[in-house]
Structure formats: C-alpha cells, structure tokens
Structure 1
Amino acid sequence: MVLQRPLVDFVHSSPTLATAATVFAGVFVQAAPFLVLGVLISGVIAAFVSPRVLRSVLPRRESVAVGVAGLAGAALPGCECGAVPVARRLMDQGAPSAVAVTFLLSAPAINPVVLVATAVAFPGEPKMVVARLVGSLATAWVMGLLWSRFGRTEWITARLGSHDVDPGGSRWAVFAESARHDLLQAGSYLVLGAAAAAALNVLVPQWIYEHLAGQVILAILVMALLAVVLALCSEADAFVVASLSMLPLLPRLVFLVVGPAVDVKLIAMQAGSFGRGFAARFAPLTFVVAIACACAAGYLVLGGIR
C-alpha cells in the first residue's frame, strides 16, 4: 500500500498516537475471534434451530418458565442483536411476554462465548466472570418477574412478519446471510468500541480516572451511561472495559451488565420489534435494575469495591 509507510511513520512520530494504536489493535485482536465465533454460532441457530425448540421446553407456570428462560439464554451464543428477533419469534409462537423478555436479556449476557471472552479479558480475575453471570442472570429474572406482574400485552404494539426459514430455500444460504449481517453489524460496533477504548486511554486526563476511582458511585453511573451510549457487542465489550484498568472492578462490572441489557441500538431494535410503548417503559426500568443487580453481584462475588 502506497500510504502504509507514511501512516506508520506518522503514528510512530507521536507517543500519544502510538499508544492509541496499540490499545486499539490490542482490543480488536483479542475480541475478534470471539466475535467471529459468536456470529457463526448465531448463524447456525438462525438457519437450523427453530424457536419452537425453546418454546417446547418451557413450563406452563409463568414464574417457573421465567426461571427456565433465563437459564436457556446460555443456549444462544451471540450478541444482543440476535436475541431481539428470537424473543419476538418466541412471543409470536405463544410464549408469554415475560418469558420472551427474560430470554431477551439473558441470552447475550450469559452465553458461553461471552463468559469465555470475559475470562480472557480479565486474566487472574475469575470472579469477574462469576459476577457478570450472577448480575446478568439476576437482571433477566427480575425484569421477567416484574413484566409478568406489571406488564401489559397492549404495550407491545409492533407486529412483524415471520422470520422462520423458508422451507423451499437453502438453510446454508440463510446461515451465510445471517452470519454476514451479524458480522458486519457487530464488527462495526467492535471497531467503534476499540476506537473508544483507545480514545479513553489517551485523551481523558489521568486525574479524571483517579477522581472516578475515588468516587465509586459516580464511576458506576458514568460507566452505566457509557455502556448505553457505546452500544458494544456483548462478545467484545469485556476487552474494551478491561483496558480501563485504572478504574475499580465494580464500575467495570456495571458496564458489562448494563451494556447487553440496554443500549441505544437495543432501544431502537426493541422499538421496531415490540413498539415504542414497550421500549419507552422497558429500557429505563432495565437500566435501573441492571445497575442494582450488578452492584449486588459485585458486593457478593467481588467482595465489595475493588
């Protein structure tokens, strides 16, 4: 490439740019394999697994079904983008809305790909994996039970067509198209997230992180809002937040629990799939519940503020 050498020289001429490039490359290279794995598995599920399989194993009692749906989220490796249409299909096939809501929140947060990625991003901190699992699963269960108790069917106003695979079509074509779509969408967020991590490392003065480290409540709120705005894929977010090593673990745990539950892209997708009335009620409540569950998990599993 003609511009490769001038660009490399330009980056190396500035210690700040060199540091930013190193952080960007480190985050992207670490996260990319997990992103690709999640996309491939998500594509297989989209092409070969019907939501009827999940629907058939749900208990008739709604409160028990909410618990099962939360655990069933581990069966859908992939990011939150793929969980929205699956939850919609479950609802279209007669599953209670509380069950679909629980699955929607648990699937992108407790699946094996996300948990392994978290373990790799936080070497030597296995409790972070457990804390993320506990906080995310608690968020899904609490929201499912709250929706079961207070939710209204009329709040879900959007009606979509079927997303099932066309029997006359090729399932491999569906797999390829689903994987391509998810890779382009999630990959773009990974690039943005890696760039944001690099910017946060080199542009934000060190004293701000030192101030946040000493003001845990403020740090929790900042990281929660950052998770909503950055809208990272759940398969890559751990690598981004792990780079902010100057912050305690608890605010970073809040980022990991809030992100897969509520962010700007999810709000838009939920508004399109379930209606604006649903999103307007569901997103703010999920934000508060996710923060509370993450903090509780942090204190129980991490042993307090770290």
Structure 2
Amino acid sequence: MQNQRTAVADGLRLVAFGLRVLVHVVLGGAALLAVVTVASVLGPMLALDLYTPPVAAWWTVFTAIAVQGVPFLLLGTVVSAAIGAFVPERVLTRLLPRNQALAVPLAGAAGVVLPGCECASVPVAGSLMRRGVAPPAALAFLLSAPAINPVVLVATSIAFPGQPRMVLGRLLASLAVAVVMGWLWARFGREEWLRLPKRSTGTSARGLRAFGAGLQHDFLHAGGFLVLGAAAAATFNLVVPRSILDLFTGSAWLSVLLLAVLAVVLCVCSEADAFVAASLSGFSPTARLAFMVVGPMVDLKLFALQAGTFGRAFAVRFSAVTWVTAVAGSSLVGWWLL
C-alpha cells in the first residue's frame, strides 16, 4: 500500500513538473511569437499610414526572417536541451581515441549526431575537458556542434531552396574549420592560455528538470538574438545605400569580409542564421556562405562566453584565429563549390 502511494505521489509530481515546463515554454514562445505577430499584422498598417514603401519593405524582410526561423530555433533548442539533460558527456569520452590527431576529426564529426546551440557548446566543451577529453578534440566539437547539426542543415536547405550546394558547402567548410582549429591548438596551443573551468561542487541536474530549464533558457535567449538579428538584417537592407553595397558586392573579397564581420556583430543563432543570409540577396553565394560559417563559431556573445569559461587570453587568441580560418575556409569552399 505504501509503495502504491509513493508511486502515485511520484507520478503526480512528474505531471506537475511537466505542466510547469509546458507553461514556461508556452509563455516564452508566446512572447517571441507576439513580437512576430505584431510585426506581421501592425507592420503593413503602419507602413500604409506613413506612406513609405521602405518601411513596408523593412517589415516584410523582418517578418519573413523571424517567421521562418522560429520553428527551427525551437526544434534546435529542444534537441540541445534533450542532449544536455539525457546524454552523459562520458559517451563522447569513451568513443574518442587518445591520439589527438585522430580524436580531433572524430570530435568534429560528432557535431552531426550531438547537436547543440552556440551558447550550450561552450559549457559542454568545458565539461568534456574536465572529464578527460583532450582540449583540441573538445574545441573541435565546440565549433562543429552548432554549425553542422541536422537542424542547422535542414534550416539551410529551407532557406536556400533548390540549392543543395549551399548546404553541402556549409557542411564541408564548417567541419573543415573545426578540424583545422583543433589541429592548430594541438600543435601551437599552450596550457597557460587555457583556463579549465572548475569542477562543480554540487550534483549536476539531469533528467526532466534539466531539460525544462535548458529548453526555457536556450529558447528565450536564442529567440531574442533571432529577433535582433532579423531587425538588424532588415535595417541593413533599408539603411545602407545601394551605392555603398555596390562597392562591396562588386568585389568578391570585400563582400566576404563584410558579411564575415556582420556575422560577428549580429550574433544570430545558428538554427536561424541561414534565413538572415538568404535575405542578403545582393551578395554573392560565397559571401553568404562565409556569414553562415563564421557566425556559429565567432560572434560577440560567444567571445564573452569563452572569456568567462576559459579565460580572456584564450578567447582573444582562439576567436581571432578561428575568424581568419573560417573566412579562408568558406572562401575556398565557395570558390570551389559555388
């Protein structure tokens, strides 16, 4: 009898917790969708009141990016939260060989089956290092997981319909950059540059509670960056004169460098950055590929996360070299494939 009561009580607590998670996710999603709805409904009305076609164009671009990106953003955060809550880090530790030269490409390829957003990749990489994974392999996984996971690749295929080479180019360039950076750290990295995160004194949360907390945090956090990125991309298309864009779009190298810098500043989540890149139709395919390769690996929020987790000496060196490698890698792949 006592066991039955305990089972019933545990079941009720599980249901109550599930309802709380659902309420948080629904409220968070409603808040994000409310912004999109206001943009899509009131935007055209406001544009008509102001009689300014550029304002109508701004609302159109903003709404298109946000509406297309939200479903993939939600799917990506669900997958990321589930992996963080239910997949132990020791799974990757046991699969990687001790030889760093072999462990780096395997860890980079693991980003395909163990996806995560940029914000989650930094603490996951730190946890892997604490559990014995060599830093070069952990850093390769840090760069590849948010860039080549299935959610990102599917989103890219939707954003660029009928252009499978853009999806393949993103996969090849991102994986190559992640592997090269892991090998570069194995060859030139120094222990004093990398401050390993301290081991947590408490027990890490697992299961449904960790899943709910991770989903709520990642969706709301990344959703804010999606809205800001969509607004910034729409503003960029509206404010920057065509004559200035022609200076960059007329030069293949200048257009790549401009979008590579823009990716660092906009901080768009990798699950949604393909839609922002697709909206920048005035630029070459190689430049837009550079935007999608650089963004998940180097941006302002990632720099802050890396500096707080591994130290500023590491973040400055690693981010700078990663940016140069990502620009070079995407340019080579774009020239060869696109």
User: TM class by shorter-chain length?
Assistant: over 0.9
What's the CA shift string for 1:104-132, capped at 9, x where partnerless? 01101010000111111111211000111
Partner of 1:125: 163
Q: Give the whole-Å Cα distance in 1 for the aligned partners of 2:263 and 2:303.
A: 13
Partner of 1:71: 109
In the superposition, the TM-score normalised over structure 1's length comes to: 0.93
What's the CA shift string for 1:168-198, capped at 9, x where partnerless? x662111110000001110010000110111
In the superposition, the TM-score normalised over structure 2's length comes to: 0.84
**1:47 partner letter:** A
- Aligned with residue 246 of structure 2, among 201, 207, 210: 210
**1:284 partner letter:** A
Secondary structure in 1 aligned to 2:268?
coil
Q: Give the whole-Å Cα distance in 1 for the aligned partners of 2:267 and 2:218.
A: 14
Partner of 2:330: 294
The 1:9/1:284 distance shift into structure 2, 3 A limit, reads same
Deviation of residue 101 (structure 1)? 0.7
**2:61 partner letter:** V
Deviation of residue 6 (structure 1)? 7.7
The 1:66/1:211 distance shift into structure 2, 3 A limit, reads same
- Aligned with residue 62 of structure 1, among 89, 97, 100: 100
Gaps of 5+ in 1: none
Q: Give the whole-Å Cα distance in 1 for the aligned partners of 2:174 and 2:195.
A: 27
Q: Give the whole-Å Cα distance in 2 for the aligned partners of 1:7 and 1:74.
A: 38
Deviation of residue 207 (structure 1)? 2.2
Gaps of 5+ in 2: 1-33
Deviation of residue 157 (structure 1)? 2.0
Structure with larger Rg? 2
Partner of 1:113: 151
Partner of 2:306: 270
Deviation of residue 77 (structure 1)? 2.5
Partner of 1:12: 48
Task: Find out whether 1:191 has 2:227 as its counterpart.
Answer: yes
Note if contact 1:73-1:111 (Cα within 8 Å) is conserved in structure 2. Answer: yes
- Aligned with residue 31 of structure 1, among 69, 72, 82: 69
Note if contact 1:138-1:293 (Cα within 8 Å) is conserved in structure 2. Answer: yes
Sequence identity of aligned pairs in percent? 51
Partner of 1:173: 209
Q: Give the whole-Å Cα distance in 1 for the aligned partners of 2:91 and 2:298.
A: 26
- Aligned with residue 86 of structure 2, among 29, 33, 48: 48
Note if contact 1:261-1:286 (Cα within 8 Å) is conserved in structure 2. Answer: yes
- Aligned with residue 176 of structure 2, among 127, 138, 141: 138
Greater CA drift, 293-302 or 104-113: 293-302
Task: Find out whether 1:93 has 2:131 as its counterpart.
Answer: yes
Note if contact 2:107-2:138 (Cα within 8 Å) is conserved in structure 1. Answer: yes
The structure in which a higher percent of residues are helix is 2
Note if contact 2:126-2:196 (Cα within 8 Å) is conserved in structure 1. Answer: no
Greater CA drift, 113-122 or 11-20: 11-20
Note if contact 1:160-1:273 (Cα within 8 Å) is conserved in structure 2. Answer: no
> Aligned-pair RMSD on alpha carbons?
1.8
